[in-house]
Amino acid sequence: MDFFSQQDRARRNTRYLVVLFILALSLIVLLVNALVTAFLWVGGDYNIYVGGTGWKGYLALFSWDRFAIIGLAVVSTVGFVSLVRWLQLASGGKAVAESLGGRRVLRQSADPYEKRCLNIVEELSLAANMPVPALYVLPEERGINAFAAGVNPTDAVVAVTRGAALQLTRDELQGVVAHEFSHILNGDMRLGIRLASLLKGITFIGDVGHFLLRMGAYGVGRSNRRSESSAALPVVGLGLMIIGWLGSLAAGFIKAAISRQKEYLADASAVQFTRDTSGIADALKVIGGFVPGSLVHSARAPEMSHIFFGEVRHRLWEGFATHPPLDRRIRRLDKNWNGQFIQRSEVRYATEPLSANDVQTGVGRAALVAAAMANVALPDEAAIATDGQTIIEDAEFSQDQRVTEMVAENDLLGETVEQIPEVLHNAVLEPLGATAVALALVTARRQDDTLNAALTVLKEKAARGQEELVARLLPKVSSLGPGQRFPLMASAMPALKSMSTPQYREFKTTLLSVIQSDGQIDLFEWCLFQLLRHYLDPEYLRVENSRPRYRHMAKVRAPLRQVLSVLAHQGTGDSARAFALACEDLKLSGLQLLPLAQCSVAEFSRGVHTLADCYPLLKPRILKAMALAAADDGEVCPVERELVVAVAAVMDCPLPPELALS
């Protein structure tokens, strides 16, 4: 699956959504004008108007001035409501999850089913080369469902219902979570938030009608003498409710038109992540044979129905369904399905024990998944034209074969992860330890005077207990190789995201002070700080995301030269050859490698942030060129890999499996 083509498709779908929204809004303006004219015709003395009674008299009441005023009022109201809803939802996936009744799952959870979910999220995060998103559970929902929410990958969350955590096996749950990860990488989350915001503005007209209907009925009940105007108020309210109902119908059609196709693609992407069709297919079969199905009873669930894994409500007519029928989704995944759903006894409480394989830490397993994903041949963009069917067929092999491949890849990455001291794995499970590890990663690189300067900063600015913990962790952190540092920080993301806002501000200030304590910033310090800032700032601060500005490579020649020159100088081979290889892949002629003396971290940083404003389809080309340059000498060293991963993070462009460097 070409994730970046899908991100570009999501942008086109956004324009499609805007067109449908404008058409629906235009219809609402016409209907409201017709209703107001009818109100004047019924409530006033229409005989004074030229044209007399009947339809002729009704049409005589039409006024272009009134039409413009009413149209402006409707558009302003819908726009204001949509903007307010967007501001509520755009604060991050956390707001969406909590509005649906979600509860954050912490690493310290004693519930084995929740720990299993956390492990799966960790595995797939490392396989997708993206930070670990926060995990939420909907504790009151028996139905089997899940969703991903957020505006971009940096503020994404994954949520599962309690029913999904209890009823599904590990492989089935992994397939469901992989489906949600594909929505993150495909750019579907932002589209889902925009969809919910715009459609809230449309359906708000019905809320106004309900209010007027109640107020009119209340006024009539209190009045001894009913005037024609007061009698017409409930009629106006009823009319607006009908218009709101029609708006809801339009919203349903829009959601169905936008959402269905991306569900097929997300199913196919889940197969690509897990390399196994049975997991997600069996999860869909379990939903079909489970009495509550995928129903979600939260009051806000219908509004956000398009972001869920399955339908949240029963649909009387398939035309309003935001998801394809279960049997169609299953047959695309399992062409030999016999049509029978899986019947399974319901697990109501977390009382049944899970195996040690299910509840073990996900870091080691994630390493194996990432290693396997990094070396699997994937189909080309032609797979997209068949709704992912080629991907599904390509990935059809047995569970034993899948395990064999993962074990075979153990030498690539598993050994590296296993060498990370257990004390560091344990330290990153809670916020204080995670921040101490980050500070120790910077401090451990210092010697003599620069080390003393870093320790002095820690003594002055570190939080209570943090300085002592950094000192205890320094020997273990010093033993880490370059290839072990970023995986360790990736596993620390959930703990870092559980800090309070003042704690995060203090940690960020302390880290920056330690980095600057020697008067200079090297590439590793830049990469570490950019990763933490990019993935954590949206959790605590209001940040402005990069916007597409550059559609062609020619517009970013200068920053590309700077970034590729820095990368070329990091390898052990011929820097000029590596640089030329990257330029050839990007079809850029005339660029010359910058001397090492001109490759400053400051210029490199400015170049990367400029590249972050490229259009989505340019970003994977840039990352691919960087990968080619890094592998020019036959080996991608850990420093080069850290650099590419950090650049991808700042560009808000997660590395897909086919570009994973290992």
d(CA 11, CA 609): 21
Count of beta carbons in the 10 Å neighbourhood of residue 270: 33
Tokens of 183: 């929505």
Q: Which residues are catalytic?
A: 180
d(CA 371, CA 379): 18
CB 581 within 8 A of CB 565: no
- Which residue blocks in 552-652 are alpha helix, DSSP H? 557-570, 575-585, 601-611, 618-630, 638-650
d(CA 628, CA 636): 9
Residues 6+ apart with CB under 8 A from 147: 96, 100, 158, 159, 180, 304, 307, 308, 309
Chain center to CA of 203: 26
Residues 6+ apart with CB under 8 A from 462: 439, 470, 510
| DSSP string for 33-102 | HHHHHHHHHHHS-GGGSTT-SHHHHHHHT--HHHHHHHHHHHHHHHHHHHHHHHHHHTT-HHHHHHHTT-
Tokens 């209890």 sit at which residue? 166
Q: Which has the closest alpha carbon to 325: 272, 249, 314?
A: 314
d(CA 545, CA 161): 30
Cα distances from 108 to residues 21, 73, 118, 489, in angstroms, run 44, 51, 11, 18
d(CA 178, CA 126): 12
- Which residue blocks in 275-300 are alpha helix, DSSP H? 277-289
Residues 6+ apart with CB under 8 A from 47: 53, 57
Tokens of 468: 């002592």
d(CA 419, CA 422): 9
Query: H/E element holding 361?
Result: none
d(CA 563, CA 578): 12
d(CA 471, CA 305): 49
Q: Which has the closest alpha carbon to 269: 154, 158, 188?
A: 188
3-state secondary structure of 308: strand
Residues 6+ apart with CB under 8 A from 532: 438, 489, 496, 508, 511
CB 43 within 8 A of CB 228: yes
Residues 6+ apart with CB under 8 A from 388: 1, 264, 265, 267, 268, 269, 271, 332
Phi and psi at residue 148, in whole multiples of 5°?
-120, 140
d(CA 529, CA 66): 57
Tokens 């005989």 sit at which residue? 47
